[in-house]
Amino acid sequence: MTKLLLGVPIEIGGEEVIICRDSIGSQALTTSRESEVYTLIEGPREDGRPAIYIDEEELKSMRDSYPGIKVYGLWQLLFANNAVPLGTDVIVFDLGQDRGLFLRLDPEGDLHDPRSIRLSSEYADNFISELPDYDLADASRISVDNIELVLPAKPAYTRQELFEKQRHDQTKRWYIVASICGLIVFATAIYNYAMFTLYNANMATYRAKQVQRDELETKFSELQREHLAKWPDNSVVLSKISALLSYDSGLSTAPEGETKVGFTTFHRFLTSKNLSFDPAKKVSGIESELTPHLSYVLRIAQSDESGGKK
């Protein structure tokens, strides 16, 4: 059986650690000396086992002697490995032939219940000062093999270390919160930029459609202005022109004057030279004028009835 040495580096679970004396139970604090300051290294367990404490000065001494090596309490280690055999009011862990550490349970309580643990202390010369009449032969003894031991979840820390650790964890949490906020701000900025870009693209499309709509409205207005309320009926004018052509096949459009293309104004024609009659006397509704060249200038006005049919 390998000895579990206290206060010196040993290897447990492939890691070099130091196991120190610790105290269990609230009564351990009331029986401590004024110069002793205890630090909580493990709170009460769900099964009712009391909290475990360690002497601050002894922990600092281990830090100074063996910097960088994790420190665990003895009872912390034993309970983590379920190596404490409950069932008697005194449980002993030997440190030598006539000295060791012990747990004191309430003899009036359930000795198999961890809630019955009252305190832990040390004995020497096979004598427990708190129990002068107690025979150590009646106590349960703890035997461990450190090769099979596993380390507790957390090592022991001084109050200053706990404060620094808490401040570091708080700073780390703030960094995480700041990072999350930064990511949110960055994601929001990217989202806003994407929405702004999409908005600009949609607005450009909207403006283009608006310009196109305005152009179409302008064209529509122009078409409405040119829209004929009635279908044009130029049959009267055409009949007059047809009658003139039957009298003078050489009839031509006058080269100058009021002549315009279409049937919405006066029509001006020029007869052949030396025409023997005045066409105005042959076709009603025609004005004629004899030119020096012995040809007639004929004017046909658009009649009011030629505006068209609906």
The DSSP letter of residue 116 is G
* pLDDT average, residue stretch 175-204: 92
132, 273: one domain: no
Same structural domain, 140 and 17: yes
Q: Looking at 114, 148, 165, which one is the last position of a domain?
A: 165
Domain that holds residue 267: 235-307
**pLDDT, position 186:** 92
Q: Which of 101-115, 233-247, 268-282, 295-309 has the lowest mean pLDDT?
A: 295-309
**pLDDT at 234 exceeding the cut of 90:** no
pLDDT band with cut points at 50, 70 and 90 for residue 165: confident
Q: Please check whether residue 181 lies inside any domain of the structure.
A: no
- SS3 state at 64: helix
Domain tally, the chain: 2
Highest mean pLDDT among 21-35, 147-161, 190-204, 231-245: 190-204
Separation between Cα atoms, residue 266 and residue 278, nearest integer Å:
19
DSSP conformational letter for 145: -
Shared-domain flag, residues 154 and 273: no
Q: Is residue 202 part of a domain?
A: no
- State how far the Cα of 298 lies from the Cα of 275, in Å rounded to an integer: 13
Q: Is residue 111 domain-shared with residue 246, that is, in the same domain? A: no
Total-model pTM: 0.57
Residues 252 and 133 in one domain: no
When pLDDT is averaged across residues 219-227 and rounded to a whole number, the result is 84
Whether residues 123 and 241 share a domain: the answer is: no
Final residue of a structural domain among 165, 182, 199: 165
* 75 has a pLDDT exceeding 70: yes
The letter for the amino acid at 160 is Q
Collapsed DSSP state (helix, strand, coil) of residue 120: strand
Is there a domain that residue 217 lies in? no
d(Cα 152, Cα 24) in Å, to the nearest integer?
A: 15
Q: Is residue 183 assigned to a domain?
A: no
pLDDT cut 70: percent of the chain above it: 88
Cα-flanking dihedrals φ and ψ of residue 59, to 5°? -65, -40
CA-CA distances (angstroms) from residue 112 to 89, 108, 159, 235?
9, 12, 33, 128
Asked if residue 133 and residue 270 are part of one domain, the reply reads no
Given this model, what pLDDT does residue 192 score? 93
The pLDDT tens digits for 177-188 are 999 999 999 999
**In whole angstroms, what is the distance from residue 257 CA to residue 79 CA?**
127
Inform me whether the pLDDT recorded for 258 exceeds 50.
no
CA 189 to chain centre: 11
Is 24 contained in some domain? yes
8 A C-beta contact, residue 101 and residue 74: yes
- Separation CA 136–CA 93 (nearest Å): 11
- Average pLDDT over the chain, rounded to an integer: 85
Domain co-membership, 249 together with 143: no
Last residue of some domain: 165, 189, 204? 165
Cα distances (Å, whole numbers) of residue 115 to 38, 87, 272: 21, 12, 141
Report which of residues 19 and 231 the model is more confident about: 19
Q: How many CB atoms lie within 10 A of CB 62?
A: 22
Taking residues 267-281, report their average pLDDT: 84
Residue 93 has pLDDT above 50, yes or no: yes
Q: Between 21 and 287, where is the model more confident?
A: 21
Q: What is the mean pLDDT of residues 169-179?
A: 88
16 and 134 co-located in one domain: yes
**Phi-psi region for residue 28, left (φ > 0), alpha (ψ -120 to 50) or beta?**
alpha
Residues 116 and 22 in one domain: yes
pLDDT of residue 310 exceeding 50: no
Write the DSSP string, 189-234: HHHHHHHHHHHHHHHHHHHHHHHHHHHHHHHHHHHHHH--SSB---
Residue 267 has what DSSP assignment? E
Domain presence at residue 203: no
On whether both 23 and 157 belong to a single domain, the answer is yes
At 303 the pLDDT is 61
User: What pLDDT was estimated at residue 61?
Assistant: 92
Span of 8-22, 115-129, 170-184, 274-288 with lowest mean pLDDT: 274-288
Average pLDDT in the 195-217 region? 93
Domain-embedded: residue 174: no
Decide which of 234 and 246 is more confident: 246
DSSP state of 28: H
Helix (H) or strand (E) holding 104: strand 100-105
Whether residue 28 lies inside any domain: the answer is yes
Query: Does residue 157 sit in the same domain as residue 78?
Result: yes
